[in-house]
Structure 1
Amino acid sequence: MSEIKIIGKGEKYAHASVGMMETINSKLFLKEQIDATSCEISFGSLPSGAAVPFFHSHSHDEEIYIILSGHGRFQVDNEVFDIAEGSVIRVATNCDRNLKCTSSPCPMTYICIQAKENSLNEYTLTDAQITERSNLL
């Protein structure tokens, strides 16, 4: 069974591991484990032929699914499309979503990132500053 292992925490960081991707056999939520304040991150795995057992919708948060292995089908409201390793799917608020694994015999493993829709004001180079520091790597 998969579990989140806390490797270390400092004043400005948290370091955790979900282990090998092929050992994930459920849904693992990281927000509380890593003290995240801006988003929820989860790792999920669906065995061949399985779907998430319910549709769901979010009022305030969009979700981004990143398919790490396997393939399947994704449904947003009444639209259904194929997904596979490397697929990245953004789902807006106030719509139903679900996914199903169609790869056989391999499971479909994915990451889901949930964050408040329209909350990203600055990103990449607009929010980064190059700093001077001794490289200890």
Structure 2
Amino acid sequence: MSEIKTLNSGEKFAHASIGSLHGFEGKQFVKDAIGATSCEISFGSLPTGAAVPFFHSHKENEENYIILSGAGKFQVDDNVVDIAEGSVIRVATNCDRNLRCTSAEPMAYICIQAKEGSLGGYTMTDAEVTERENLL
């Protein structure tokens, strides 16, 4: 299992890494390493034929899964869908979920967990274009 490393941080940001996703195995949560206050983010990987070893549901938080590589099946209650690289799956509260890797290569994914119904403004309804010297 990879270990998350905090690389640098400031008053208004934190930068951490689990390293290369190629060959990443297991599950790594990042909320604490970056000091997130609005969501939990995790990286996960399943080898060929493996599934998360349990079904689970959340009382207050929805989960959003982003499949980075590989392919498989995703089950929400009694519904099963095919998933693959590029798939994005939102799962509401109070329902069971699980996923299985069916591809020859491991399945890597990101899961973002946040309070259901909490998103207010987003994209440009919550953004403001600002003027600043570009140091990039």
**Aligning the two structures, in what range does the TM-score lie when normalised by the shorter sequence?**
over 0.9
For each residue in 1:19-56, what CA deviation from the matched residue of structure 2 results, as whole angstroms up to 9, or x when unmatched? 11123100000000100000000000000000000000
Residue 45 of structure 2 aligns with an amino acid whose one-letter code is S
2:22 is paired with a residue whose SS is: helix
Q: Indicate conservation of the 8 Å contact 1:69/1:109, yes or no.
A: yes
> After TM superposition, which residue ranges in structure 1, 4 or more long, deviate above 6 angstroms?
none
Q: Return the alpha-carbon distance in structure 1 between the equivalents of residues 99 and 8 of structure 2.
A: 33
Residue 121 of structure 2 aligns with an amino acid whose one-letter code is E
Residue 13 of structure 2 aligns with an amino acid whose one-letter code is Y
Q: Return the alpha-carbon distance in structure 1 between the equivalents of residues 93 and 44 of structure 2.
A: 20
Matches within 5 A, 1:1-137: 1-104=1-104, 106-137=105-136
Task: State the TM-score, normalizing by the size of structure 1.
Answer: 0.97
Q: Indicate conservation of the 8 Å contact 1:65/1:88, yes or no.
A: yes
2:7 is paired with a residue whose SS is: strand
For each residue in 1:58-94, what CA deviation from the matched residue of structure 2 results, as whole angstroms up to 9, or x when unmatched? 0000000000000000000000110000000000000
Residue 91 of structure 1 aligns with an amino acid whose one-letter code is V
Q: Over the residues paired in the alignment, what is the CA RMSD in angstroms?
A: 0.7
Q: Return the alpha-carbon distance in structure 1 between the equivalents of residues 23 and 74 of structure 2.
A: 23
Q: Return the alpha-carbon distance in structure 2 between the equivalents of residues 120 and 101 of structure 1.
A: 31
Structure 1 gap ranges (5+): none
Q: Return the alpha-carbon distance in structure 1 between the equivalents of residues 130 and 22 of structure 2.
A: 38
Task: Quote the offset at 1:132 in angstroms.
Answer: 1.1
Q: Indicate conservation of the 8 Å contact 1:2/1:23, yes or no.
A: no
2:32 is paired with a residue whose SS is: coil
Residue 60 of structure 1 aligns with an amino acid whose one-letter code is E
Structure 2 gap ranges (5+): none
1:33 is paired with a residue whose SS is: helix
Fraction of identical pairs, as percent? 71
